Structure formats: C-alpha cells, structure tokens
Amino acid sequence: MRLRGELPDKIPLFPLPGALLLPRARLPLQIFEPRYLAMLDETLKSPLRLIGMIQPRHTPGGGHALSAIGCAGRVTGFSETDDGRYLITLTGISRFRLAREISGFAPYLMGEVTWDGFPRDRGAPETDTGFDRDAFLDLLRRYFSEQQLSTDWDSLRDADDELMINSLAMLCPFEPEDKQALLEAPSLRTRRETLVTLMNFAIAGGAAGPGEERLQ
C-alpha cells in the first residue's frame, strides 16, 4: 500500500497477545475497551490512520514489557455495532522498532518508533524461491488435522507465496513468542522455515491444540 507522506515517529500502540499483523496482510479486530475506543477515535482523525500492533512479553521477576518489534497497520475497514463496538481491518504497512513508550494524557499507549531495518515491508510482495508447495501443503494438512482446523484448500492452493505463508502465520494458533518469531523473520523464506518448524513441533506433540491435551 502506498502512503502519502513519511511514516511518523510516534504512533498509538495496541498490545495484544497472540495477534500478529504482517506487511501487506489484513487483520480484522474488534475494539470495545474504552481506552482503545478512544485510540481509534483519534486514529481516524489522523492523516495515515496508523495503529502499531505489538506483543506484550514477560520479563524476569514476573513483570511485563513490550516487544522490541511490532507492525503498524492502516485502518482500511471500519464499522460500528449497535452495542458500541468497532469492527476494523488493519492493513499491514511496515514493521517498526520501539524506541520508547511515551507517557501522556491519553488513556492508551503511544510509542516513539523507528522504521529502519525493514526495507522489504513497503516494497513489492515477496516470493520464496525455495518453496516446495506440495510438501508444504502435505505438512499443513497433517497440522490442521492435529489441531482440528479447517480451511478452503482450493483457495489456499492457488494463493501466491506471500499471501499463503503470511496468512497462515497470522491465523495458526501458535504461542505469542512464536508469533513474535514469525514477525521478526527477516525474509519470507525464513518465515516459511519458521512456520514449518512450528507445525512439525506441534505435530510431534510439542504443543496442544485448543482444548486438547498434549500427546504422550
């Protein structure tokens, strides 16, 4: 997505465990907490309508902090429900590095960010020259069966490399730290390799699906 003007050095932050946004991908969200309703109201008034999705993380001693890298998305879809919730779509623009959190009068978090180090994010869609689609889909079928997930296999088979890999990275029920690893992957090939590792680990019994016990 082409944006008019430079990316800002301060953006609102939406810390949401397990929610992954990637460049050129779309993430649907429901907004209902008062502080994030206020954030969205202000975001919609801004020229670029950017929100920074970022993972909270645990620190030694039981504390909490934000991850060093997140992804900013532009609000490209918006509707309001009768009960006051917002249904929005974020389209990923670029990853960012969090320089510091900004305290102020707003009820939501703001961050000072830098955009350096992510040259692929605002360019053309990536391709993965080492992608063995048949082997990948075979693994994916076994993973989906193990996790009791379903999908439109025809649409998935016809999707381009980036759409397939990034959509699965965003949608599969991995742990937040695994989602962060997928976000920080420096290339589409690295992200696909990380995705394959995570699926193999789950199939081997390294992670339990929703409501399931770990395999013994």
| Per-residue model confidence (pLDDT) at position 6 | 86
The domain defined by 10-114 folds into 2.30.130
pLDDT at 3: 60
- Collapsing DSSP states into helix, strand and coil, what is residue 18? coil
The pLDDT of residue 64 is 76
Q: How far apart are CA 30 and CA 32, in angstroms?
A: 6
Q: Give yes or no for a contact between 151 and 172, defined as CB atoms under 8 angstroms apart.
A: no
Provide the 8-state DSSP code for 3.
Answer: -
- Phi, psi for residue 80 in degrees, rounded to 5: -120, 135
pLDDT in tens, 133-155: 999 999 999 999 999 998 888 88
Packing angle of the helix pair 176-184, 188-203 (nearest 10 deg) = 150
CA-CA distance, 165 to 191, in Å (whole number)?
Answer: 8
Q: Which residues of the chain have pLDDT under 50?
A: 207-216
Put simply, whether the predicted model's pTM sits higher than 0.85 gets the answer yes
pLDDT at 2: 52
> Can you give the residue ranges of every domain in the chain?
10-114, 133-203
Task: Give the whole-angstrom CA distance, residue 188 versus residue 90.
Answer: 20
Would you put residue 24 in left (φ > 0), alpha (ψ -120 to 50) or beta? left
